[in-house]
Amino acid sequence: MRQTIVHDVSDLPTYGYGPRSGPWWGAMGFMALEGMGFAVAIGAYLYLYAVNPSWPIGASPPDLWPGTVETVIYVLSIIPNEFTNRAAHRQDLAKVRIGLIVMALIGIALLVLRGFEFAHLNTRWDNSAYGSIVWLILGLHTTHLATDVGDTVVLAVLMFTRHAKPRRFSDVTDNVFYWNFVVLAWLPLYVLLDWVPRL
Amino acid sequence: MSMAAEPNELRDDVLNGLQLSMQLERVWRTPSGLVGALMSVDHKVVGRRYILTAFAFLLLGGILAILMRVQLAGPEKTFLSADKYNQVFTMHGSTMMFLFAVPVMEAFAVYLVPLMVGTRNIAFPRLNAFSYWMFLFGGCFLWISFLFNVGPDVGWFSYVPLSSLQFTPTKRADVWAQMITFTEVAALAVAVEIVVTVFKLRAPGMTLDRIPLFVWAMLVTAFLVMFAMPSIMVASTSLILDRLVNTRFYDSSSGGHPLLWQHLFWFFGHPEVYIIFIPGTGMVSAILATFARRPVIGYPVVILSLIATGFLSFGLWVHHMFVTGLPQLGAALFTASSMLIAVPSGLQIFCWLATLWDGRPVYRTPLLFVIGFIVIFVLGGLSGVMVASVPIDTQVHDTYFVVAHFHYVLIGGAVFPLVGAVYYWFPKIAGRMLSERLGRWNFWLAFIGFNVAFFPMHILGLIGMPRRVYTYTADMDWAHLNLVSSGGALVFAFSFAVLLANVIYSLRKGALAGDNPWNASTLEWATSSPPPPQNFDRIPVVKHRDPLWADSESLSVVAGLSAERREVLLTSLAEAEPQIREASPEPSIWPLLTAIATTIFFIGSIFTPWAVLWGTPPMAVTLIGWFWPSGSKEDEE
């Protein structure tokens, strides 16, 4: 078939941020399906809560302090996260490095706290259906937390190598974006795990 | 942020004709040799593998169906033992649903969607390769387990408490649950790729109302996968945890609840039907337009019907649970929603009939299969409206009536369009036409065989024959209809042998197809058959919903993409305005290595929970290898 050139795209950039870029939509897609996973798990919790006459089953509610401290850190972490985001948009390598290191440290601190939270759930996974669903939900979120921390650490290391090229700043903004999802997903889970058993 | 192109970079605007083709081919081709093949990230290579593998599983699942029909052909046969029969029907359902129907539809999308939207590769090509390996390994895992007599035997929906450790102390249910995890990971990955491909990689000018109907169907399907499959992953994970580390999700003595399983399963399981059916409708729309020689009537109606079907499909799952003792209000609500979903499907049928009516139909094999689809699917839809009603459902629940119903819906709604699609797109994929003569034999054997096999099951169900029984006694009077059904099943199976023979014969001897043998209107026909590694030498510009019918002589294109490295054009979501020239990944061995590490993790965790600990580091290492920049030019901008 004969070809007629009607448009020239050679002046277009080779990477972009946010909804202009492909990976941003990929992250969006995975957040949507993982968010659905959380929603289904919450649905399962509420179903078990509805069909059981007493809740929590054979246990006292989780101790409040680990989850509450985590929640405070999650909410505050938005600030350095946004700092990293803006630095990445400005392609300020020094500040991006600082931001990523801070975010990695925050993530590691949260993982340690998560260990305490498991220890203070006051139930085991094999005690009752209550224990099972609580461990499942917390485990599901911990998987997300650990994945994002791993990603942040790798990205932080990458930004100290010769690979710290402009298009990596777009990757940094996607990592920032995903962290917001980890934070947002946690807030309803905090209410569900720590406060619903106290109703 | 603009990285103005290096002035000395080779572009597709300075090359022309054969020179451009050869240069792009060199950049985009899959490396040669075995290792090269394992590294391929070309959507056409991966798509072809996906299609072939899914059809291999169809063959295996079909053999199981024949085994069952032999066993049931007469009363009190001893061809299969009760235990073997349980494994065979479970393997048949699981294979057909998880290893054939969903993957084969996604496989066609992987192959066709990038071509139809006019781009050079799918979004996230390495994820695509990973998805294929996960699917392959998961399917092999299930079938190898079956050959070692550890095949699941608890039905394709694996209800608790039957599938709990107490009643299935072997590894059989674990094999089922983990096969689910494999295939869902694969399906979810493809779903995200399709969404991003359709959102961002469309050719300039392909606005939302110029997207081909097949692509719309695959987009809606991808969203269904994204929102339905997490439910089955929560389900299969909780089941395996119950079995492996004594969680109590389904243990009613510790607050667990068996019906939770059914809710989680069917919240996935009902959309699953539409995940299989909606791609079929996309194939029908594509084939119908080409062979009726006019665009499908009611383009917006068809799209809105697809979207409506997608939404409604999440509101019907409880109709699988009518006999579990639901509150009356719940039963009424789900009856209403189950009947409601017939409306958008009906609208689409009317659009297709109107298209045929107004067109000048050319009755080639693909169109025959579409007409077969319309007949069979409407029959399946009618019995579907019947079982949506609680009193009828209560009567025929777990009988062969239901078996008849869903085979009419699934084979009629998906397999007939699929075989039609094979005839329609084989010339594009293989470069040669399938034999029309064998095609007609194929169709009539399939149509007659299918109806003879499955129509009697309606009657068998109504006179009381339950599902999943390995035999029956002579005094039940079910023998004649079962014999007829078994005969029909053999004819139906033979029709697939004809298809296979046709494919093998035509690969060598078929007439050369040329670019556009059917004179179709969509972009996949604007390139050679089979398409070159780069799909198109220049990215097309779309000005019409049926671009090749609007102008069959020349193709408007854009220029300015790199001709010395892999680059695709990203466009805006709604208007498809060019936005970015984005690098597209090179071939890589890491997706395969990641899939191997993940497989070790998944299979190991059936045997010991510690696999979660020692299985994670290899996965992390392979993932880092995957994402770490390779130092190629693409990565270093």
Q: What is the CATH number of the domain that holds A85?
A: 1.20.120.80
**pLDDT of residue B637 exceeding 70:** no
The full set of domains in chain B, from first to last, is 17-636 (1.20.210.10)
Choose, out of A12, A51, A153, A170, the residue to mutate when testing the contact with B (most B CBs < 10 Å): A12
**B255 Cβ under 8 Å from any chain A Cβ:** yes
* Partner residue facing A13 (CB), from B2, B191, B629: B2
Closest chain B CA to residue A89: B1
Give pLDDT tens digits for B352-384: 999 999 999 999 999 999 999 999 999 999 999
**pLDDT of residue A59 exceeding 70:** yes
**pLDDT of residue B7 exceeding 60:** no
CA distance B215 to B340: 25
Whether A121 is in a domain gets the answer yes
CA distance B458 to B405: 7
pLDDT of residue B194: 98
Question: 3-class DSSP state for residue B271?
Answer: helix
Give pLDDT tens digits for B231-283: 999 999 999 999 999 999 999 999 999 999 999 999 999 999 999 999 999 99
> What does the pLDDT average to over B149-170?
94
Residue A105 has phi, psi (to 5 degrees) of -65, -40
Work out the minimum CA distance from A159 to partner chain B, whole angstroms: 11
Quick one: DSSP state of residue B540? B
A4 contacts on B by Cβ (under 8 Å): 554-557
B521: its two tokens: 């209107």
Total-model pTM: 0.96
**pLDDT of residue B131 exceeding 80:** yes
B118 contacts on A by Cβ (under 8 Å): none
Whether A85 is in a domain gets the answer yes
Whether A2 is in a domain gets the answer no
**Domain tally for chain A?**
1
Angstrom distances, CA of residue A88 to CA of A168, A169, B5: 9, 5, 22
Whether A12 is in a domain gets the answer no
The three state secondary structure string of A19-38 is HHCHHHHHHHHHHHHHHHHH
> What does the pLDDT average to over A85-113?
97
pLDDT of residue B9: 81
For residues B420 and B283, is the Cβ–Cβ distance under 8 A?
yes
A37 contacts on B by Cβ (under 8 Å): 230, 233-234
For residues B486 and B410, is the Cβ–Cβ distance under 8 A?
no
CA distance B611 to B626: 22
Whether A87 is in a domain gets the answer yes
In one letter, which amino acid is B269?
G
B206: its two tokens: 């392909």
Q: Nearest-CA neighbor of B158 among B244, B256, B239, B245?
A: B239
Strands (E), B567-609: 567-571, 578-583
Residue A146 has phi, psi (to 5 degrees) of -65, -40
pLDDT of residue B3: 47
Domain that holds residue A78: 34-198
Residue-by-residue DSSP string for B351-410: HHHHHHHHS-----HHHHHHHHHHHHHHHHHHHHHHHTSHHHHHHHTTBHHHHHHHHHHH
* Partner residue facing B579 (CB), from A20, A136, A167: A20
Question: 3-class DSSP state for residue A2?
Answer: strand
Give pLDDT tens digits for A149-195: 999 999 999 999 998 888 899 999 999 999 999 999 999 999 999 99
In one letter, which amino acid is B580?
I
pLDDT of residue B631: 67
ipTM of the complex: 0.95
Whether A27 is in a domain gets the answer no
Q: Nearest-CA neighbor of B105 among B191, B30, B196, B9?
A: B191
**pLDDT of residue B32 exceeding 70:** yes
Question: 3-class DSSP state for residue B580?
Answer: strand
Whether A184 is in a domain gets the answer yes
